[in-house]
Structure 1
Amino acid sequence: MRKAVHMAVTSVIVGLVVSGCGGGDDGKKESKPSGGATKATQSAQQSPSSGPSARGTIMERSAGSWKSIVAAKSADDLETLTIADGKVTAKGPKLDCTGTLKGGEDEPSLTLSCKGGSDGGRGQGTVGMKGDDALAINWKGPEGGFGGPIDSFRRAG
């Protein structure tokens, strides 16, 4: 029961991150571009031929340092994620993991391996992004189960 509640809360949090709810809104209307990046984003959204390759693939856009949107509550939570050239480093209170990011443009797969053997139910998952500053990992979880955790991050720095 506790795990089901945890997964439901995590799903709601991921939904909020991916839908763009939360900080950084400033009450400004999206229809009033304030700079070149906003104009580029709007033209990429309006032109179907410009698609993901115009902004870069998820693998390209995910490069950098990421911080979890929720404070670590257990030893198996992830706090930070770093992605560079398809190589991934993830750390938490007691997790120290490395892995690789590879695959498709829309949902690349992430394979993670942690020191000490415990990966907190992760191992393999898919990466999704909303814009350039919200990243979520949907972990497959243990074989025969109902899925693993979902980790949500915001770009650090």
Structure 2
Amino acid sequence: MRKARWTAVATLAVAVMAAGCGSESADEKPADGRARATTDATKKPAEAAAPQGTLLERAAGTWKYIATPGDTTLDTLVIKDGKAKAEGAKLSCTGTFVPVTKDGKESATITYTCQGGKDGGRGLGHLKVKPDGSSLVIDFDGPAGGWGGPVDSYRRA
């Protein structure tokens, strides 16, 4: 008796799961007339389209530092016409991005000129912008003979 009950429960569970796995065409609508949501992975949302223009055109705008500010951080970065102005609590720098192409990929470098002559150990920086334009990173080489420099990460302001 117990075995028959478990067999019936298992059969019912399989039937319920199989009923939920059916397919329907995109044109079919449920009884209430609303269109069904599609989960087609090949369709991309309009907002996910990559921004147009060069790397420096996509980087243009005002950016805010995403980590905890400190004495050597550059908390606000403004990029316009390939020029950068970066300011923090105790550091203020300017620089011009130099566009480069490496291995067929667009990139840009920058060396800051800062008030007081100290750049917070940055040296030469390499610009990277997320494809959707939502974040920007400048990866610095650091002082010559050193282990590398800071990575300044920003989000659009």
Q: TM class, shorter-chain normalised? A: 0.5 to 0.7
| 1:95 matched to 2:96 | no
| Unaligned stretches of 5+ residues in structure 2 | 1-38
The runs of 4+ residues in structure 1 deviating greater than 4 Å are: 29-34
What residue number does 1:133 align with? 134
Q: Which has the higher helix share?
A: 1
Q: Give TM-score scaled by structure 1 length.
A: 0.65
| 1:63 matched to 2:64 | no
Structure-2 separation of matches of 1:133 and 1:69: 12
Identity of aligned residues (%): 45
1:71 Cα deviation after fit: 2.1
2:74 paired residue among 78, 94, 98: 78
1:140 Cα deviation after fit: 0.9
Opposite residue 57 of structure 2, the aligned amino acid is: E
1:30 Cα deviation after fit: 10
| Contact 2:123-2:149 within 8 A present in 1 as well | no
1:139 Cα deviation after fit: 0.4
Structure with higher RCO (Cα < 8 A, 6+ apart) = 1
| Contact 1:59-1:102 within 8 A present in 2 as well | no
Q: Give TM-score scaled by structure 2 length.
A: 0.65
| Unaligned stretches of 5+ residues in structure 1 | 1-28, 45-53
Question: For the aligned residues, what is the CA RMSD?
Answer: 2.1
Distance 1:153 1:30, change over 3 A: farther
Equivalenced residue count is 113
SS at match of 2:126: strand
SS at match of 1:103: strand
Distance 1:92 1:56, change over 3 A: same
1:110 Cα deviation after fit: 1.3
1:55 Cα deviation after fit: 2.2
Structure-2 separation of matches of 1:154 and 1:30: 30
| Contact 1:113-1:123 within 8 A present in 2 as well | no
